[in-house]
Amino acid sequence: MQIAITALDDPRFERNSSHFAPLQPVRLAVSGARRTGSVGISVADGRGTVYAAKKVAPEDGQATLELRVRGALGRHTVKVMPEGPNSPMIMGHFQVTAETRVVTGDEVFDDFVERVKALMLNNIGALFVRGDVVKGYQSPDTRQICLRHHTHQMRGFKYWEPDVRSVVDHFCEAQLPDGSFYDGVATGAPGPDHDPTYHWRSRYDEQRDVRYSRSTVLADVEYLAVEAVYTAWQATGDDEWVRTKLPALEKALIYSMTDPQRWSPQHELVKRGFTIDTWDFECGEPVRLPDGRRTRRCEIDQHTRFGIMHGDNTGMCKACRLLGAMFEHCALPKKAHEWQRKAEHFQRRVNDVCWNGTFYRHHVHIDPVDVEGVDEHEQLSLSNACSLNRGTMTPEMAASVIGEYQRRRDLRQETHFAEWFSIDPPFRPEAFGLEGLRPGSYVNGGIMPLVGGELARGAFEHGFEAYGVDILRRYYQMIAVANTTYLWYHPDGMAPEQEPALPADGLGAAAMLYAFVEGLCGVEDEGKLFERVRLSPRWPAADVPRALVCVKYGASDGYFCYEYTYDKTERTIRLELTGSGAGLKGHVLLPAGLTGSSVEADGAPASSRECAVNGAPYVEFEFDAIPRRIVVSG
């Protein structure tokens, strides 16, 4: 007997004799079988778990079985056991691989992942430190590898990049004794623009020929370090590695909550100098260095005017939750509870101190600041969009923030091509002492895809699904026409005049991809390696009746794959599912008219409930093991 394994015709899958993809339909043909009796055929995945087993009656000496590939990636094993005495078992194998891809028939969504990936690959940088390679994704406005910028881009490149740990490891090794982190690392001695009397949070390691730096006005490096470790752990699944990082992360957050330059006992929140949102220079006259040159105010000194910036504290809230989750996974429940309690503290305090009734106020001043030419109470800054996705807002608050962006889009439609404001309204040109920081440029009112991506992700989560789709489509048209993307644009849509250090904006691209994968495709990893998946497909908002989605980490074989089909005539949603994990939480957007839904899992009735998110109808269900097929009927 012989086993032939072939792919069935399906234009959504590549026909490749060397490997197959999850959910790809295949045919197993066993030739030379006895004409009498049945043949037992079983298929096991890369972990040895059997996912198909059936007795087949041969016809004309051939037994065939058609199935869809499922389960763990790697070498799948076919076993054939004919009935009857002296019938030897035979075996065959085929390889199963996966990559992050989406197939819908809509060019925007089918091309989205590859288009963003191609842009972000331009931003890869590498340092060679004593034989070790430190590989990171750089920001478009600096050639350093910055922990902050790298972390923001992890939400995109984790879907293809095999090295998600070297940058994290390097910055953790360089952690300062007080628990703080440097933000930038590069090779070579400091350049002529560096003055040690002013840039005091910096260090040059002569032995390794690397220099470290940080603008001390930054208050977000520590909480972003937590997110970086969490994301790397998700993508690799390395429990022992993450356990070694927990002391450093805890020390970093304690630094943010105790250091006199970081913590406000009065407000019980993280403070910073008066910067534009999370950026790295302060309001005020530029600093004159000893050699006469002028530089932006990026260091804390006697002239620093402190205040509470909401984004630092919504970021701390998220970081405390992530740290608690990592402690929980490492079987340290007391620590987990402690950090979850701290997250609740940040949520309560930032909402009490910074919420103005419509959105988070840009800065709540501790030291008096006289800012002429702008009404600070009206300033909507970029961390409002980020905070939609950090777990601090009630549903009503999130709807208010999204509604404010929509309102300002309508209000500014004749002057602004998009509502992805860095800050609106901007400051007067001279407020921050920088030449060229005119209103509508850079972080002073420039339009940032980073904001659009965060806004889209929040829109999908909080019941503004059509708005999220609209943002993704607008962004795709931008990058498809120009084949690049910039950190910021002028309000009229023109790119910045100065040449960027790198040809693509990884911050905005990663945020848009994050919104696409977790928001529209609806695949969210609630642990590591997609062991527990929250599945929230929102294809009705995009008028897409059929979608094939596969999401995989580049650093491991962790993946999740589903096929979505909506049959309007039969009033049913069908989901074919597989992945490397087990647990599944469903949160499925219902198309218009599909109400009173019932759910079946592998042919059996399943418990479910309907809910509404800002009026958008969803059906929810939960399983300890991923079913093969779910049917939602109205």
Domain extents for the chain? 2-96, 101-520, 524-633
The answer, yes or no, to whether residue 133 has pLDDT greater than 80, is yes
The answer, yes or no, to whether residue 395 has pLDDT greater than 70, is yes
Confidence of residue 160 (pLDDT cuts 50, 70, 90): very high
The answer, yes or no, to whether residue 122 has pLDDT greater than 70, is yes
Express each pLDDT in 600-626 by its tens digit: 999 999 999 999 999 999 999 999 999
Phi, psi of 52 (to 5 degrees): -150, 130
d(CA 451, CA 172): 28
What was the pLDDT predicted at 364? Answer: 97
The answer, yes or no, to whether residue 288 has pLDDT greater than 90, is no
Express each pLDDT in 458-489 by its tens digit: 999 999 999 999 999 999 999 998 888 999 99
The answer, yes or no, to whether residue 284 has pLDDT greater than 90, is no
What was the pLDDT predicted at 500? Answer: 64
What was the pLDDT predicted at 283? Answer: 82
What was the pLDDT predicted at 540? Answer: 98
What was the pLDDT predicted at 434? Answer: 67
The answer, yes or no, to whether residue 34 has pLDDT greater than 70, is no
Confidence of residue 35 (pLDDT cuts 50, 70, 90): low
What was the pLDDT predicted at 205? Answer: 82
What was the pLDDT predicted at 37? Answer: 74
Measured CA to CA in angstroms, residue 2 lies from 33, 212, 576 at distances of 9, 62, 30
Name residue 166's amino acid: S
Mean pLDDT estimate for the chain: 92
d(CA 41, CA 83): 11
Torsion of CA 580, 584, 588, 594, to 10 degrees: 110
CATH for the 524-633 domain, from 2.60.40.1220, 3.30.2350.10, 2.60.420.10, 1.20.140.150: 2.60.420.10
The answer, yes or no, to whether residue 148 has pLDDT greater than 70, is yes
- State what percent of residues in the chain have pLDDT above 90: 76
CB of 217 within 8 A of CB of 287? no
Express each pLDDT in 216-260 by its tens digit: 999 999 999 999 999 999 999 999 999 999 999 999 999 999 999
CATH superfamily membership of 2-96: Macroglobulin (MG2) domain (2.60.40.1930)
Q: Are strands 145-146 and 184-187 parallel, antiparallel or unpaired?
A: antiparallel
CB of 41 within 8 A of CB of 78? yes
Q: Cβ neighbours of residue 202 under 8 Å, at least 6 residues apart?
A: 182, 190, 194, 196, 211, 212, 213, 214
The answer, yes or no, to whether residue 370 has pLDDT greater than 90, is no
pTM of the model: 0.95
Please give the residue that has the higher pLDDT: either 175 or 199: 175
What was the pLDDT predicted at 244? Answer: 97
CATH for the 101-520 domain, from 1.50.10.10, 3.10.129.10, 3.40.50.720, 3.40.50.970: 1.50.10.10
Confidence of residue 443 (pLDDT cuts 50, 70, 90): very high
Q: Is 161 left (phi over 0), alpha (psi -120 to 50) or beta?
A: beta
CB of 90 within 8 A of CB of 80? yes
Express each pLDDT in 58-101 by its tens digit: 887 788 999 999 999 999 999 998 876 667 788 999 999 999 99
Distance from CA of residue 288 to its chain's centroid?
40
